[in-house]
Amino acid sequence: MGIPDVLSYAYHVAKIVWPALAVLAALLQAFLVWQQRREAKSSTAEIKALENTLRPLRERIECNETRIAEYEQTVSNNVDRVDTIDRRVETMESNHVAAIAAMAKKLDNVQKRLEEIEHRKPERPESYRDIGTQSGGDEKSVGIQTQPTVRSSIAAPGQRRFESSTAASRARGLQ
């Protein structure tokens, strides 16, 4: 057997084997395509199953995001309310401080006025009975009138009632 015979034999074998190899390659390719499609179908089914599982979770997430937005708005509104209340409290505190200062000033003025009145008063004897008996009369006939010291709206029997310190000072000036 020479080289031409070997080549001739190889050519005949190739003529027979080549189509078989081509058919085999086509079958292998078809099998691979079928397997890929099967895997794709199973992957698609898995994806759909995962999507079905994730759908309720997505809905919950969206619902929770909506709730969070509502809570944030509520918190913002409450913060605004607290700020408003804080401002009101600060205003009330400053008003009360001013009112207390004004009352303290009035009290000081009243105290000074009382001290002035105390210094201007003549000294009183120990009792009115002594005055009446020294002059020979009884205590009802003594002509001394005393100023009322009660400044409430309810006066004791026999005392005059004054509504304000101005009215009281006017009444004292008239007596």
Q: Is 153 helix (H, G, I), strand (E, B) or coil?
A: coil
Give 11-40 pLDDT, tens digit per residue.
Answer: 788 888 888 888 888 999 999 999 999 888
Is the pTM here over 0.85, yes or no?
A: no
CA pair distance 105, 98, nearest whole angstrom: 10
pLDDT of 123 reads: 65
pLDDT exceeds cutoff 90 at 149: no
pLDDT of 12 reads: 80
- The string of DSSP codes covering 16-65 is HHHHHHHHHHHHHHHHHHHHHHHHHHHHHHHHHHHHHHHHHHHHHHHHHH
pLDDT of 65 reads: 96
Domain range annotation of the chain: 1-113
Range 150-165 average pLDDT = 51
Give 85-135 pLDDT, tens digit per residue.
Answer: 999 999 999 999 999 999 999 999 999 999 998 888 766 656 555 555 555
Q: Is 145 helix (H, G, I), strand (E, B) or coil?
A: coil
